[in-house]
Amino acid sequence: MAKDLRHYLDQLTRKLPAEYLRVKREVDPLFELPAVLRKLQDGDQYPAVMFEKVKGSRFPVVSNLFASSNRLALAFGVQVENLVEGYMKLEDRLVAPVRVRNAPVQDRVLTGRRVDLTKLPIVTHCEKDAGPYITSGVGVFKDPDTGIYDVGIFRLQLKEKNRLGVLYGAYSKAARVITKNEKRNKPTEMAVYIGHHPASILSSQTKVPATVDEFSVMGGLLEEPVETVDAKTVDVVVPARAEFVLEGEILPNVREPEGPFGEYPWYYGLERQSHVMRVRAITHRDDAIYHDIFSGHRDHNMCGKIQREAVILKRVRMSVPGARAVCLPVSGTCRHVGYISMRKDFDGQGKIAAMAALAAETMMKLAVIVDDDIDVENESEVWWAVATRTQADRAIFMVPEAYVSELDPSAYSIKDRNRRDYLNTKWAIDATKPVGLPFEERADVPRDMWTKIKLQDYFPGKRRA
């Protein structure tokens, strides 16, 4: 069976039933749907949720798919303990796509006056969002010179039945394609797909050079070739097993107000002048499922977590072979803060790891480097190392005026530190112990004593303690 969203939801039902809930009563996509997820978050619960009936639309909505490591591990078919290393192996394996004729996503083809985006259950998430936003739409772009495909998630604001506002970060490869076409005063024909196997959606967050076809990266992550089909009205191919495809064009040299929108740092991205997509066709499965990402919340943050951790680990290992593990915690938005553990072979090497990490992930503001006895997934351990192994004036260094992100609310301008822009001061804490000096031992119960304890022998009444 080829992999798609349904295939994944079946697996989720069988393998992680406690992480997949259903809501049968009708919910309003204006705030009520995300309010259910927000209420779950208040109880520290992050299940995927299928909303079967959504007001104003005939399509069900699945949201919060990416908000747990177990579900990401299931998406990539790896053990959760081995998530980053397992993912890295798949990412390096390119599998070329195959063209098919029969595409479920083209069960229904709506063009001309039948194009009506308001019939989709597009969710409004945060209080001050400028309107409903498609948050899981994967843009498909073709370089006009090389024909190489690029995919990326770009937020889409619903403006009219056939018109969307889209934000393309200047750094994105999609923006490069659009700019190339704009210089020739040409529109960019493209498509957006919504709903597919999570490995397909998440492949949009890999950081590979523009010379690599991203449908091949997607195939590696899916462990099978992506089935693609020619779009009906534009000159690109699209994944045949998606739930919806929006075909259209980015209008050249047109910018319109877009935003504000609740973004990954849990603050609003401000209103700005953004690109406009005119939609020529909507195609979808007969019984399509709409996929929403709960933006400005854990679901959004964790979308880019594993892919970024993989890039950092690969790059730090080039400089420090003993680099062991990386964690971009949700508390640091899965972007701004990173914990890296390493085997330290000589003094000064912790600083090298920090510099490599800060350069590998441009959005990282703070790198915390710890020894390899620390579990980077356990924030208490990381901060215990900082608390007990550092002298601040030796452990910390700072790099002012480095690129971080325009969405970071504390970012500043090169002209004026008090003005908002995209620069920030990167810093690092090297919390590794010295190698050339003696350092105290951790106080603990003898390891082979506690690891061989079976709690049932001591608490026979309790099944799991």
Ligand X SMILES: Cc1cc2nc3c(=O)[nH]c(=O)nc-3n(C[C@H](O)[C@H](O)[C@H](O)COP(=O)(O)O)c2cc1C
Asked if 127 contacts 256 with a C-beta cutoff of 8 angstroms, the reply is: no
* Backbone torsions φ then ψ of 76, nearest 5 degrees: -95, 0
Nearer to Mn ion by Cβ, of 150 and 430: the residue is 150
Residue facing Mn ion at closest CB distance:
152
Smallest gap from residue 63 Cβ to ligand X (A) = 12
Q: Is 395 in the site for ligand X (CB under 6 A)?
A: no
Of Mn ion, ligand X, none, which one sits near residue 135, judging by CB under 5 to 8 A according to partner kind? ligand X
Using CB under 5 A, which of 121, 132, 152, 187 touches Mn ion?
152
Q: Is 150 in the site for Mn ion (CB under 5 A)?
A: yes
Nearer to Mn ion by Cβ, of 204 and 432: the residue is 204
Window 161-220: residues binding Mn ion (CB under 5 A) = 214
Of Mn ion, ligand X, none, which one sits near residue 165, judging by CB under 5 to 8 A according to partner kind? none
Nearer to Mn ion by Cβ, of 152 and 219: the residue is 152
Nearer to Mn ion by Cβ, of 4 and 150: the residue is 150
Asked if 290 contacts 61 with a C-beta cutoff of 8 angstroms, the reply is: yes
Nearest one of 227, 50, 7, 31 to 131, comparing CA atoms: 31
Angular region, 413: left φ>0, alpha ψ -120 to 50, beta rest: beta
**Secondary element (H or E) of residue 39:** helix 32-42
Asked if 400 contacts 425 with a C-beta cutoff of 8 angstroms, the reply is: yes
Residue facing ligand X at closest CB distance:
152
Q: Is 172 in the site for ligand X (CB under 6 A)?
A: yes
Nearer to ligand X by Cβ, of 64 and 135: the residue is 135
Window 189-218: residues binding ligand X (CB under 6 A) = 204-205
Residues 104-143 as x/- pattern, contact with Mn ion by CB under 5 A: ----------------------------------------
Residues in contact with ligand X, counted by CB under 6 A, come to a total of 19
The whole-angstrom separation of Cα 293 and Cα 277 is 20
Q: Is 150 in the site for ligand X (CB under 6 A)?
A: yes
**Secondary element (H or E) of residue 177:** helix 173-183
Smallest gap from residue 406 Cβ to ligand X (A) = 10
Nearer to ligand X by Cβ, of 19 and 150: the residue is 150
CA angle 407, 412, 417 (to 5 degrees): 160
- For tokens 């803060």, the residue is 337
Looking at residue 226, the DSSP 8-state letter turns out to be P
Q: Of the listed pieces 79-87, 90-98, 169-177, 331-339, which binds ligand X according to CB under 6 A? A: 169-177
Q: Is 153 in the site for ligand X (CB under 6 A)?
A: yes
The whole-angstrom separation of Cα 238 and Cα 192 is 8
Residues 283-312 as x/- pattern, contact with ligand X by CB under 6 A: ----------x-x----x--xx--------
The residue ranges of DSSP E strands in 8-119, in sequence order, are 20-27, 48-54, 61-63, 98-99, 108-111
Nearer to Mn ion by Cβ, of 202 and 281: the residue is 202
The whole-angstrom separation of Cα 59 and Cα 282 is 14
* Backbone torsions φ then ψ of 73, nearest 5 degrees: -60, -40
End-to-end CA distance of the chain: 40
Q: Is 329 in the site for ligand X (CB under 6 A)?
A: no
Smallest gap from residue 314 Cβ to ligand X (A) = 16
Q: Of the listed pieces 56-64, 166-174, 330-338, 390-398, which binds ligand X according to CB under 6 A? A: 166-174
Burial-class residue 34 by CB neighbours within 10 Å (0-12, 13-18, 19+).
buried
Q: Is 71 in the site for ligand X (CB under 6 A)?
A: no
* Backbone torsions φ then ψ of 32, nearest 5 degrees: -70, -45
Nearer to Mn ion by Cβ, of 75 and 369: the residue is 75
Q: Is 325 in the site for ligand X (CB under 6 A)?
A: no
Amino acid at 454: K
The whole-angstrom separation of Cα 308 and Cα 362 is 10
Residues in contact with Mn ion, counted by CB under 5 A, come to a total of 3
Residue 190, CA distances (Å) to 279, 315, 398, 409, 454 in order: 10, 32, 42, 32, 58
The whole-angstrom separation of Cα 175 and Cα 34 is 30
Smallest gap from residue 203 Cβ to Mn ion (A) = 8
Cα–chain center distance at 299: 8
Of Mn ion, ligand X, none, which one sits near residue 169, judging by CB under 5 to 8 A according to partner kind? ligand X
Nearer to ligand X by Cβ, of 330 and 352: the residue is 330
Residues within the interface to ligand X (CB under 6 A)? 135, 150, 152-155, 167-169, 172-174, 204-205, 293, 295, 300, 303-304
Residues within the interface to Mn ion (CB under 5 A)? 150, 152, 214
